[in-house]
Amino acid sequence: MKMVWLFPGQGSQRPGMGTSWYGAPESREWLEQAAFRLENIPLRHLLCDADETTLQDTKNAQPAMYAIGLAVVRYLRALGAEPAAVAGHSLGEITALAACGALDPEWGLYFVRERARLMSQAPEGGMAAVLGLSAEAIEEALPAEVNVANFNGPAQTVISGTISGLATAEEALKRAGAKRIIPLRVSGPFHSPLMRPVADALARILRDAPITAPSCHFYSTVSAARETDPERIRALLAEQVCAPVRWTETASLIGPVAALEAGSGGVLQGLCRRIPGAPDVRPADTPEACRSLATP
């Protein structure tokens, strides 16, 4: 049975997440190839030995998560599995495009490295998760310098903006009835209009990117729609960093089908459990988990 393959983004990284994948020849070959292409990034150290603080650095987290996602893909394909459809949360969207053949995996390493570098130089700002308040109520309460960054589900929305704007937003959201507001450990106001300079720089990098039509259904969390046109995908990849992640809509569009989360963390499993009509997501974070999914 074909399943939908879902790919998590930054924030799902965990210490030691690559250890089991280096023990499997099918995935180790890709990881060694990725380490060679990434040159000055110590990929094996990041995946096997780095601590949580090191992995929180955007320049480390994004290449590590992309590499692990495609290590899972290599292993699944060695088992004879192919996706019915793919989607990814933020960074995971790039992994999804490589998994469905729309993006060359090695070029993706270069792009993710540059994306991480540019995002780590983002304007000053931050992000926070808002729990227990609808997205509509949150949007009504936000000041002009703060925007919704992630529509993660009915009870969790992430906001992004300037430091002063987030402080103002926190007070307004508490008055509106938010249960909790949790600052996120990120280096900038990701997925907000403040990231426009980064989006413009990524658009220049993507101008000559080898992007082709996906080999299976690809769902973009920028448009919350199935996308097939390479030029449209190219534009969305650049726009992604200053646009919200529309995960709730995308998960509902995919529907209540069998899916796997290809990589570390289990974040997408948790989000989808709280979205009515979303995929039934199972973990694919170790070779053993992949084998259990591939067994009829």
Give catalytic residue positions. 90, 191
How many Cα atoms within 13 Å fall on the side-chain side of residue 280? Answer: 5
Which residues does 88 contact at the CB level (< 8 Å), separation at least 6? 6, 7, 8, 9, 69, 94, 95, 96, 97, 221
> For residues 75 and 263, is the Cβ–Cβ distance under 8 A?
no
CA pair distance 29, 26, nearest whole angstrom:
6
Strand order of the sheet with strand 180-183? 146-153, 156-161, 126-131, 180-183
Q: Which residue in 198, 201, 7, 137 sits closest to 85, CA to CA?
A: 7
Phi, psi angle pair for 93, to nearest 5°: -65, -35
For residue 284, list its beta bridge partners. Answer: 262
